[in-house]
Structure 1
Amino acid sequence: MDIQRMRDSFEVVGANGDEVPLFFYSHLFLNYPETRSLFPVSMMTQRDRLFAALGHIVTNVDNVDVLVPFLQDLGRDHRKFGTLAGHYPAVGASLLATLEHFAGDAWTPELAADWAEAYGVIASVMTEAAGQSDDPAWWDARVVSHERRTLDIAVVRLEPRERLDFVPGQAVAVESELRPRLWRYYAVANAPREDNVLELHVQAHDGGPVSSALVRHLAVGDAVRLGPPQGGLVLDTTSDRDLLLVASGTGVAPLKAILEQVTQDDVARRVDFYVEARTAADLYDLESLQALARAHPWVTVVPVVSDEDDYPGEKGRVSDVVVRDGPWGSRDVFVCGAPLMVDETVKELIKAGVPEHRIRAERFAPSRPGPSAEGSLTS
């Protein structure tokens, strides 16, 4: 298998933009109509997911430690769509037809063989992981509380019917009858609890059909379905280093879960949690974080407001405030939230002497399809 040849061809195909997934799904549905029921009625937010996942696979095709867990997670996760082993050949055939159509003169028998072999491996790893999973394909849950904290952010608490085990920092996919067959990931904002309740922080975005529905129309008692937990923004349990947590927007959620986890551990460590928002009103979960700080004197919560000149506390960019309050070179660092904030904060912390390997970061983008390496091979 010529990896570079595959990467070059994928770049050529990807240059055609939205035409590529449109061709793929048209080919799939016309030639394999039995697959149509796996997908939502509207494909507007669906078309980029296949090639987002393929892009991640092609990038990491020679990195087994990254690629295999990613494919295993995809395989287990795809059970919630109703994906069966028999669907994979259809997807593979449409994928090869799409690559051939857009690769033009670059498509050769050798390249076709490379892609066929690669897809065979992908499908094998995914189906094997799906078959070995003892977890449900999804968890039925009900809404036990729904609080509108701002115009566009709601804190939603869900109670799964069966026990749903997860690691603080992970996310779960949510589907509601408000938007059938549209699944979106939301980070769980609490550590596992005896009552099995999960707290999600949902922000509505323009053009985000699921998030808008969950914020504006979901109600107590409503039924939802939850997919298997995913994501790697989790605490290194072999480390006892102090923590620096930096969040903006609903990036607060997974870091709050990690903070709750630390408060339950026997390991004594200091935690400094910086939260950035445009205005004081946007600090939607500050009261809850401050309650944790009051209960645990080794926790400090620092709100930072960027766009409100008369705010009485810290003002400006959170990256500037964090670096000023350092040094943080001895800490494990977690950064989560808006992509610009995450990138700036990581860059400035590295410049300030924090070892890059101690920084875990996740960028939250509107209607993201997955918790880390976004995408889906079928749905």
Structure 2
Amino acid sequence: MDSQTVSLVRTTFKAVAAVDDGPERLTRSFYSILFTDYPEARDFFPAAMETQRDRLVRALAYVVDRLEDADTLLPYLAQLGRDHRKYGTQDAHYTAVGNSLIKALRNFAGAEMWTDDVDRAWNVALGVVASAMTGAANADTAPAVWGGTVIETKQVLRNLAVIKLKLNEPMPYTPGQYMSVQIPSRPRMWRYMSPATPASDDLTVEFHVRGVTGGWVSPSMVSHTQVGEEWLLGAPLGSLGVPANPARDMLLIGCGTGIAPLRAQVLAMAEWTTSRRVHMFVGGHHPCDLYDLGMLWDLSMQNPWLTVTAVTENTHNPWWHVAEDYEAVSPGMGTLMTGQIGRVVASLGDWADRDIQIAGAPSMIQTTKFRLMAGGTPVENIRHDPLY
């Protein structure tokens, strides 16, 4: 894409985003047009569309911000295309989506903003997106979805469970990646989750799930998952993982169940000899949120290359925490650090010599990244998954 195309697409999208309720109105209009002009497309989507609309606008923003960065954008689109195979998506569906999005944008922008040049620019940009996604999807020979049977579920906190599945066939994911998951009680409501363990020969995979208040899927996962349930899993996604260059040490920063992709990596590294140092910060609002700290601390005792530091924003547990829940501090472990995890990590140095990965809620990732950059950390050293 030339610079004029990128500029026109970006300017139009930012104009939409700047209007009150602009992104929400755009996505509502888009899906209304899509389901009216292509009624067969409705079967691909869940009954409740709130999460889907939010995902669309975030994905659009991610793509628009990276139109000039082919090295980042094209691999992302390729992964997205492979992931969409789980819906049974065909090339014609991408045409339907592109036509509906352009129609929604044109209706929103009006004749004054939506010039012939703008129309051409959006057609070019969406053509690149569709080409990258369909090309990767059509070239993929892996299964479109994997099946998994729940073999163990353990509720370790009131709102958090560890769930283990046995896959029906090997899934070659990289420790640090994530994938979409669908449970039987919530058809077509796919949720992205990171395995907390590396791929294993016995085909087991472990997920750490926190129930989000008001959520459609996660509370059901935490409270109602039964052994024997059959889950579906989409293609592995994401670029987190142990870097190929062993000369650079690692800094891993995770909060809550965001530790899962980082945990999978250190477990994988513990299986082979590594010369790199790894410092892992594990954070939470309360000490009880450090539900897996004991295992990580034990792992650090067995592997001198691994350092684990615990950080909590509060020194006391909430009223609902009971003694039977996981205890945060293992015997022999030092005092917990207190504070917002990004502030704490940034206060300990600029970490300029580290490969840095951040995992957790989008707000935590953004805050931690900005604090590290303000402290002198090069932005190119920092990695995290797309914030949606």
**1:342 maps to which residue?**
365
Give the conservation status (yes or no) of the 8 Å contact 1:240–1:267. no
Please give the secondary structure, in 2, of the residue aligned with 1:17.
helix
**Does residue 1:222 correspond to 2:222, yes or no?**
no
**2:10 maps to which residue?**
7
- 1:353 deviation in Å? 4.6
**Does residue 1:21 correspond to 2:27, yes or no?**
yes
Q: Give CA-to-partner distance per residue, 1:22-43, whole Å, 9 cap, x none.
A: 1111111111111111111221
**Does residue 1:82 correspond to 2:88, yes or no?**
yes
1-side partners of 2:15 and 2:373: how far apart? 35
**Residues 289/118 of structure 1: CA separation in 2 closer, same or farther (3 Å cut):** same
- Structure 2 residue identity aligned to 1:372: P
- Structure 2 residue identity aligned to 1:201: H
- Structure 1 residue identity aligned to 2:73: L
Pick the aligned partner of 2:42 from 33, 36, 39: 36
Give the conservation status (yes or no) of the 8 Å contact 2:146–2:171. yes
RMSD: 2.2
**Does residue 1:284 correspond to 2:291, yes or no?**
yes
Any gaps of 5 or more consecutive residues in structure 1? Answer: 363-370, 375-379
Listed as ranges, the matches of 1:32-181 within 5 Å are 32-104=38-110, 105-181=112-188
2-side partners of 1:314 and 1:23: how far apart? 48
- 1:103 deviation in Å? 0.8
2-side partners of 1:2 and 1:326: how far apart? 41
**Residues 238/269 of structure 1: CA separation in 2 closer, same or farther (3 Å cut):** closer
**2:386 maps to which residue?**
372
Please give the secondary structure, in 2, of the residue aligned with 1:155.
strand
**2:303 maps to which residue?**
296
1-side partners of 2:316 and 2:67: how far apart? 49
**Residues 118/352 of structure 1: CA separation in 2 closer, same or farther (3 Å cut):** closer
- Bigger mean CA offset, 248-257 vs 332-341: 332-341
2-side partners of 1:100 and 1:348: how far apart? 39
Give the conservation status (yes or no) of the 8 Å contact 2:246–2:276. no
**1:209 maps to which residue?**
216
- Structure 2 residue identity aligned to 1:293: S
- Bigger mean CA offset, 113-122 vs 215-224: 113-122
2-side partners of 1:92 and 1:340: how far apart? 30
1-side partners of 2:177 and 2:50: how far apart? 27
**1:322 maps to which residue?**
345
**Residues 13/355 of structure 1: CA separation in 2 closer, same or farther (3 Å cut):** closer
- Structure 2 residue identity aligned to 1:357: E
**Does residue 1:238 correspond to 2:245, yes or no?**
yes
- Structure 1 residue identity aligned to 2:25: E
Please give the secondary structure, in 1, of the residue aligned with 2:129.
helix
- 1:373 deviation in Å? 5.6
Any gaps of 5 or more consecutive residues in structure 2? Answer: 318-328, 330-334
What TM-score results when the alignment is normalised by the length of structure 2?
0.87
1-side partners of 2:88 and 2:164: how far apart? 26
- 1:183 deviation in Å? 0.7
- Structure 2 residue identity aligned to 1:97: K
Please give the secondary structure, in 2, of the residue aligned with 1:258.
helix
Give the conservation status (yes or no) of the 8 Å contact 1:137–1:228. yes
**Residues 251/51 of structure 1: CA separation in 2 closer, same or farther (3 Å cut):** same
**Residues 106/204 of structure 1: CA separation in 2 closer, same or farther (3 Å cut):** same
- 1:355 deviation in Å? 3.7
Pick the aligned partner of 2:255 from 236, 248, 255: 248
- 1:321 deviation in Å? 4.1
1-side partners of 2:7 and 2:229: how far apart? 49
Give the conservation status (yes or no) of the 8 Å contact 2:148–2:230. yes
- 1:349 deviation in Å? 3.7
2-side partners of 1:17 and 1:329: how far apart? 37
**Residues 272/58 of structure 1: CA separation in 2 closer, same or farther (3 Å cut):** closer
- 1:340 deviation in Å? 4.4
- Structure 1 residue identity aligned to 2:225: L
- Structure 2 residue identity aligned to 1:10: F
**Residues 88/332 of structure 1: CA separation in 2 closer, same or farther (3 Å cut):** closer
**Residues 120/263 of structure 1: CA separation in 2 closer, same or farther (3 Å cut):** same
Q: Give CA-to-partner distance per residue, 1:65-91, whole Å, 9 cap, x none.
A: 122112111111111112111212221
**Residues 57/242 of structure 1: CA separation in 2 closer, same or farther (3 Å cut):** closer
Please give the secondary structure, in 2, of the residue aligned with 1:48.
helix
Larger relative contact order (Cα-Cα within 8 Å, sequence gap ≥ 6): 1
- 1:254 deviation in Å? 0.9
